[in-house]
């Protein structure tokens, strides 16, 4: 395990050095202020990494096998994908973006019973690239944040159905040591848990940045905004200039991508944007850092003509999203 940690931090250090060299080659003219930059406002998704459930180290308990009802073969739609977004699963949700284990299980049962067909990240990205999709009623199941509840609560259910999924993890939060059990913080995945799930062939890992999933001071009045937006530099009493903003994003995006690529032994080219916030600078910098696909929090169907840097998702991981709510979501997109 020590070897894994050494390799992880070695890759991070190498990327920091490479990123510094890259930034020196960027336009060094007087940096422009970003006050007038058009921003896409953040959506309040999984705002806080806090849940009173630190608990001991756990392995997923054998889940009660879902009682599989007969599949009602039907066609909801073709040549498009519904991307579902989840965050955290816990018995006693304290925020809107946490759902109960039985709630998630009912969602997966609904997909199964109604012939809705989860596809892998690879198949989804091929569709984005080529417009070719052989699977009807296609669904992509995604999780943000890289919480341990994905391993203990979601993965056993997904595995029972044979459903693939992708988790966009905050790379800087991943740990194997005891300090990942931090007070008032939701426990993140461990390297060992990720390795086990990757071996199943059902799980893919994407980036949710290295350490940008947080709120930061965004103005001299103390207003808060996502860390992926320009931040207020309190020591010099001003907002970041454009080049400072770009540099900060690039270093984080690059470090996260390199660290996760090293972890999963394949190129990580997908990024989920914290809080759903983006603007042209965020998307351009993500592309420069090597990401080919960015997932937002905007609702919508993924069709052949989707912008790969603005992939929409439906937030199914809401406290109030019961099976009936999920049914209404799919009925709304059903091809007439």
User: What pairs with residue 272 in β-bridges?
Assistant: 295
3-state secondary structure of 146: coil
**What pLDDT does 56 receive?**
41
Q: What pLDDT, on a 0 to 100 scale, did the predictor assign at position 65? A: 57
User: What pLDDT, on a 0 to 100 scale, did the predictor assign at position 40?
Assistant: 47
User: Does the pLDDT value for residue 6 go beyond 60?
Assistant: no
Judge whether 36 lies within some domain: no
Structure tokens, 187: 């426990």
Which residue, chain included where needed, has tokens 């690879």? 122
| pLDDT-based confidence at residue 10 (cuts at 50, 70, 90) | very low
| pLDDT above 60: residue 192 | yes
Q: What total of structural domains would you count in the chain?
A: 1
The residue ranking higher by pLDDT, 215 or 323, is 323
Query: What does the mean pLDDT of the chain come to?
Result: 84
Note the pLDDT tens digit of each residue in 254-282.
999 999 999 999 999 999 999 999 999 99
Q: Kindly state the tokens that stand for 107.
A: 């969602």
**What is the CATH number for 201?**
3.20.20.370
User: Could you give the CA distance from residue 185 to residue 217 in angstroms, rounded to a whole number?
Assistant: 21
pLDDT at residue 30 is higher than 50: no
- The answer as to whether 85 is a domain residue is yes
Q: How far apart are CA 92 and CA 103, in angstroms?
A: 12
Q: How many residues does the chain have?
A: 336
Q: Where does the pLDDT of residue 334 fall: very low under 50, low under 70, confident under 90, or very high at 90 and above? A: very high
Please check whether residue 65 lies inside any domain of the structure.
Answer: no
Q: What is the pLDDT of residue 66?
A: 57
Partners of 83 in the beta sheet?
140
pLDDT per position as a tens digit, 283-315: 999 999 999 999 999 999 999 999 999 999 999
Distances (CA, A) of 247 to 12, 14, 27, 273, 282: 16, 16, 11, 17, 11
Domain hosting residue 287, numbered range = 2-27+74-333
227 and 213 Cβ atoms separated by less than 8 Å? yes
Statement: residue 121 has pLDDT above 80: yes
Q: If you average pLDDT over residues 16-23, what whole number do you get?
A: 49
The answer to whether 286 touches 55, Cβ cutoff 8 Å, is no
In the prediction, which pLDDT does 102 show? 97
What is residue 287's predicted lDDT score, i.e. its pLDDT? 98
- Is residue 62 in some structural domain? no
59 in a domain, yes or no?
no
Q: What is the pLDDT of residues 32-64, one digit of tens each?
A: 455 444 444 555 554 444 443 444 445 555 555
Q: Say if residue 27's pLDDT is above 50.
A: no
- List 294's β-bridge partners, or say none: 271
**Residue 144 lies inside a defined structural domain of this protein:** yes
Q: Report whether 320 contacts 96 (CB < 8 A).
A: yes
Residue 135: the pLDDT is: 97
- CA–CA distance, 19 with 252 (Å, rounded to integer): 9
pLDDT band, residue 11 (cuts 50/70/90): low
pLDDT of residue 267: 97
Domain-located, residue 47: no
pLDDT per position as a tens digit, 60-116: 555 555 567 778 899 999 999 999 999 999 998 888 999 999 999 999 999 999 999
57 in any annotated domain: no
Question: CA of 316: how far to CAs of 108, 281, 288, in Å?
Answer: 11, 28, 31
Confidence (pLDDT) at 142: 98
**Residue 39 pLDDT:** 47
| HEC letters along 31-90 | CCECCCCCEECCCCCCCCCCCCCCCCCCCCCCCCCCCCCCCCCCCCCCCCEEEEEECEEC
Mean pLDDT score, 164-188? 84
């Amino acid at each position: 395990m020590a070897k894994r940690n050494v390799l992880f931090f070695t890759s991070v250090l190498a990327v920091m050095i490479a990123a510094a060299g890259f930034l020196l080659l960027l336009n060094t003219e007087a940096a422009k202020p970003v006050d007038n930059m058009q921003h896409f406002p953040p959506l309040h998704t999984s705002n806080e990494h806090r849940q009173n459930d630190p608990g001991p180290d756990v392995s997923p308990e054998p889940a009660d096998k879902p009682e599989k009802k007969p599949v009602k073969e039907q066609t909801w739609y073709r040549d498009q994908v519904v991307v579902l977004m989840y965050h955290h699963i816990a018995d006693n949700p304290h925020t809107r973006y946490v759902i109960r284990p039985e709630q998630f299980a009912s969602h997966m049962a609904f997909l199964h019973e109604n012939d809705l067909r989860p596809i892998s990240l690879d198949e989804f990205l091929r569709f984005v690239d080529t417009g070719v999709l052989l699977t009807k009623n296609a669904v992509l199941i995604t999780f943000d944040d890289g919480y341990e509840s994905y391993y203990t609560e979601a993965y056993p259910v997904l595995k029972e159905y044979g459903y693939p999924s992708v988790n966009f993890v905050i790379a800087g939060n991943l740990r194997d040591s005891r300090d990942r059990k931090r007070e008032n913080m939701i426990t993140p995945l461990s390297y060992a848990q990720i390795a086990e799930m990757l071996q199943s062939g059902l799980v893919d890992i994407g980036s949710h940045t290295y350490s940008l999933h947080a709120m930061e001071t965004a103005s001299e009045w103390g207003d808060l905004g996502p860390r992926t937006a320009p931040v207020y530099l309190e020591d010099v009493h001003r907002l970041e200039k454009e080049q400072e903003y770009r540099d900060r994003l690039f270093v984080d995006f690059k470090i996260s991508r390199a660290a996760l690529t090293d972890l999963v032994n394949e190129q990580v080219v997908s990024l989920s944007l914290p809080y759903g916030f983006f603007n042209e600078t965020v998307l351009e910098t993500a592309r420069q850092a090597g990401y080919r696909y960015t997932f937002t929090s905007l609702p919508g169907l993924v069709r052949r003509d989707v912008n790969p840097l603005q992939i929409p998702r439906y937030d199914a991981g809401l406290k109030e999203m019961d099976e009936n709510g999920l049914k209404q979501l799919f009925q709304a997109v059903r091809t007439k």
